Amino acid sequence: MSQPASVGLAARAATGERKGRVDYLVGNELPARPAVCTRCRRRLNEVVYEVRSQEGRRARCLRCAVTYRPVMATSLGIALIVGTILTAINQGQLIVGGEFPMALAWKIPLTYAVPYCVATTGAILNARTKTANSGGKGGQR
């Protein structure tokens, strides 16, 4: 049942009403607004990734959340620290000994890629929020 046009977005968001092809978020996580990515304007179906910016919290799709510069910078920093420690532990003897077998050409980059992926996945899972039309508790993680 549709509400009159005079009823604002906040009221529609509180009821989880759909207007056309745009859904409204429910809950305290994000302000009431259409469930679209604030960067690429894609329609968000069931899951919203909430990122923090100077303007406040922003809803993003998965692709935009993964490529969000602060997430990438934090993950890169973690990967550099953890990857260096793991490389020193696992390949330190070979490197200090002056040997560089061809196997290290793929082992060392992989040693840095794994912590980057783990840190990014953790950040993305932490930022995940459900929308009103997901069937679960709207706005709850």
As a whole number of angstroms, the distance between CA 104 and CA 109 comes to 8
Q: Give the pLDDT of the chain (141 residues) as one tens digit per residue.
A: 454 444 444 454 455 544 443 444 444 454 455 589 999 999 988 889 999 988 899 999 999 999 999 999 999 999 999 999 999 999 999 989 998 899 999 999 999 999 999 999 999 999 998 865 555 544 444
Backbone dihedral region for residue 34 (phi beyond 0: left; psi -120 to 50: alpha; all else: beta)? beta
Is the distance from CB of 26 to CB of 34 less than 8 angstroms? no
Report pLDDT for 22: 43
Task: Evaluate if pTM is beyond 0.75.
Answer: no
Helices 104-127 and 69-96, packing angle to 10 deg:
150
Domain ranges of the chain: 9-67+128-134, 69-124
Strands of 7-109, DSSP E: 18-19, 22-23, 47-53, 56-60
Count CA atoms closer than 13 A to 76's CA, side-chain side. Answer: 8
Report pLDDT for 9: 46
Report pLDDT for 134: 55
Report pLDDT for 34: 56
Report pLDDT for 25: 46
Report pLDDT for 18: 46
